[in-house]
Structure 1
Amino acid sequence: MQKDPKKIDIQELKKTYKIEESLHKLDEDLIGLSSVKKRIQEITAILFMDKVRQDFGLSKYYPGLHMSFTGSPGTGKSTVASRMAELLQNLGYLTRGHLIVASRDDLVAQFVGQTAPKTKDVLEKSMGGVLLIDEAYYLYKPNNEKDYGGEAIEMLLQVMENKRSDLVLIFAGYSEPMKTFYRSNPGLSSRVAHHIDFPDYSREELLTIATKLFQERQYKLSFYAEEVFIKYLDLRCQLPLFANARSIKNIVNRACFRLASRVMGETGVFTYKSLTNITPYDLILSTLFLKGLETFPMTKIGYKNDMRILFQILEYRKIGYTKKTLRYFTEFPLYIWKNYSK
């Protein structure tokens, strides 16, 4: 048996290509999305293996890198595209590793002769990196004879084939319209090697994202605020145009704005707590709550014999008690929601 003349330390090679570092960043940047992360790890593995095979003198196989990201807004498509660009640069498949995000308006013009220069400009800026085309299905309008989206698509097809060694295209958008888009463009579909679906975030994942965003800004959800925030999520998710993590970011920003406004109006002395604690009041001021909110008093009852704290709901209409009964208790508002759909 012939002895293997060459051995390569896998761990050292991973360090060289910064594989673990890039995947760790992806895991830190995104909450959940385990199926997406698994696909990225699989793609990384085949690319890494291709590099190792080249080091052993085996034939070079250039795998298709163009991708399709489907899913609702705010599910991390741009973040994954950015991390993918970084991975591909570290592995030597891209020279610059930057991300350019474009839409139909960046590529397609309204008049004859203007689409080609616009598309060419975007492609030149993207060379050496990743070009993410958001809502890509808007490029194709078959019922409009005066539409120039087809011209942009033809240019993209040429670049996908001829410049694939230094440009990766990612087409992104809602799942169903993207299926129609690919069916109408067989040449485009055949050049897209990886189709990755981005699921919507669960309630628990959205809460984790919100908590992380608050912490990054050095805020925190105070007593009862988390319960109110969860209900806010339940209501917000029912409305049109909910954009997952993107909407959560907006919610967090507005809560911080309301805290600032409340503190400025209520106190003449700033404390650490007043500057960092998001209270229920900073959430219920949203117009979202006006359609289905009732308030009842809630009391916090502390036990001195141990460190446990019991929260008990006391509704005036059902429980008769005197003010003396509550002299040691601190009252907090409890927010009870009616059926939001009514």
Structure 2
Amino acid sequence: MAIRITFRPEKNQPPIVQTSLVQPLTSGADSIQEPQRGRKVIHNAAENKDIAEILAELDALVGLTTVKRLINEIQAYIEIQKRRTREKLTAEPLVLHMIFRGNPGTGKTTVARLIGKLFREMEVLQKGHIIECERADLVGEYIGHTAQKTRDQVKKALGGVLFIDEAYSLARGGEKDFGKEAIDALVKAMEDHKNELILILAGYKHEMEWFLQTNPGLRSRFPIHIDFPDYTIDELLSIGDSMLKARQYEFTPEARNAFRFMLQGLLNSHPYAGNARLVRNMVEKTIRKQAVRLYQKSSSSREELIRILPCDLSLEEEDLK
């Protein structure tokens, strides 16, 4: 099943969700396998408490409305294919390798971790852990070194998810670059371990599209493409509130307005400012500034220890990195 989500350039317009089904297989390694003897059979995924908790955790994330809907569709799709298999009906092959496209800090890694946990509970993956890596973890310094480094990362990820950030960097060096060797090793691993591994390639939207064009065979191997949009100003504010609440802090109304004004200025002046990583940096710096302010007093009330004031807010260029 190939799935692509495209966000319209016009505001207030819903995203376009396109799906297409591959030809069903009636037998072979790509077919849905019967559950192993002795393992539990989930007749209704909604009845599985662990799955419900993972989906609730996904739903609790700020924003990402279309991403959440797609994950729920994939979960339902897997469950129905398993039911069809139990009834001796033709089932679609489970090809779940994915492309995540979006700016840094837009939730790609968080969603990948939840997918690993979800697929473990659905018995698609044995472990459901995630191995995060980038070019330096895969590309070696001499002929043969890259293939071994890549195989090592694949071995660590077996039973779970191999998440490669800035995957497009593997193709930037041209034909003689060792990055091409890493791509070839990954493609081989996808065939050799098709039932033991899910590969997620992530990066900026335009760079990932270029990357897929450099190797025509890659696009067909990744049937699920998910675009992660930048957060809106209200979503960034909500993320900031949540981060403070988790640490038992809260904005005063004046500080929250100042925080909104600061974020609005960043969104207007920096193309990649709409991300949670920036908010986290700002929140952590704000907490430190509040600590310096309160440290100058001999004692502090509980309320003072909780409240964030406008004077605690600041932003430096390094926060944007």
Q: Does 1:209 align with 2:233?
A: no
Match of 1:23 among 55, 76, 95: 55
* Equivalent-residue separation in structure 2 for 1:94 and 1:17 (angstroms): 18
Q: Confirm or deny: 8 A CA contact 2:286 2:312 kept in the other structure.
A: yes
* Equivalent-residue separation in structure 2 for 1:144 and 1:159 (angstroms): 21
Structure scoring higher RCO (CA < 8 A, sep ≥ 6) equals 2
Question: Post-superposition, which runs of at least 4 consecutive aligned residues in structure 1 deviate over 4 A?
Answer: 9-13
Q: Does 1:91 align with 2:122?
A: yes
Q: Confirm or deny: 8 A CA contact 2:232 2:274 kept in the other structure.
A: no
Match of 1:177 among 207, 219, 243: 207
Residue type of the alignment partner of 1:239: H
Match of 2:171 among 140, 143, 147: 140
Structure 2 partner of 1:242: 273
Structure 1 partner of 2:46: 14
Match of 1:46 among 58, 74, 77: 77
Q: Confirm or deny: 8 A CA contact 2:42 2:48 kept in the other structure.
A: no
Residue type of the alignment partner of 1:15: E
* Equivalent-residue separation in structure 2 for 1:256 and 1:116 (angstroms): 45
Q: How does 1:1-342 map to 2 (within 5 A)?
A: 12-16=44-48, 18-28=50-60, 30-143=61-174, 145=176, 147-237=177-267, 238-239=269-270, 242=273, 244-265=275-296, 267-283=297-313, 285-287=314-316
Deviation string, structure 1 residues 153-185 (Cα, Å, up to 9, x no partner):
011101112211110000100111111110111
Q: TM-score, normalised by structure 1?
A: 0.77
Q: Please state how far the C-alpha of 1:69 moved relative to its aligned partner.
A: 0.4
Kindly, what percent of the aligned residue pairs are identical? 39
Q: Please state how far the C-alpha of 1:15 moved relative to its aligned partner.
A: 2.1
Q: Number of residue pairs matched? A: 276
Residue type of the alignment partner of 2:127: R
The change in CA–CA distance for 1:144 and 1:156 in structure 2 (over 3 A counts) is closer
* Equivalent-residue separation in structure 2 for 1:11 and 1:152 (angstroms): 40
Q: Confirm or deny: 8 A CA contact 1:17 1:91 kept in the other structure.
A: no
Residue type of the alignment partner of 1:85: G
Q: Please give the root-mean-square deviation of Cα atoms over the aligned residues, in Å.
A: 1.9
Higher mean displacement: 83-92 or 254-263: 83-92
Q: Structure 1 regions of 5+ residues with no counterpart? A: 1-8, 289-342
Q: Please state how far the C-alpha of 1:32 moved relative to its aligned partner.
A: 0.9
Greater Rg over alpha carbons, structure: 1
Q: TM-score, normalised by structure 2?
A: 0.81
Q: Please state how far the C-alpha of 1:110 moved relative to its aligned partner.
A: 2.1
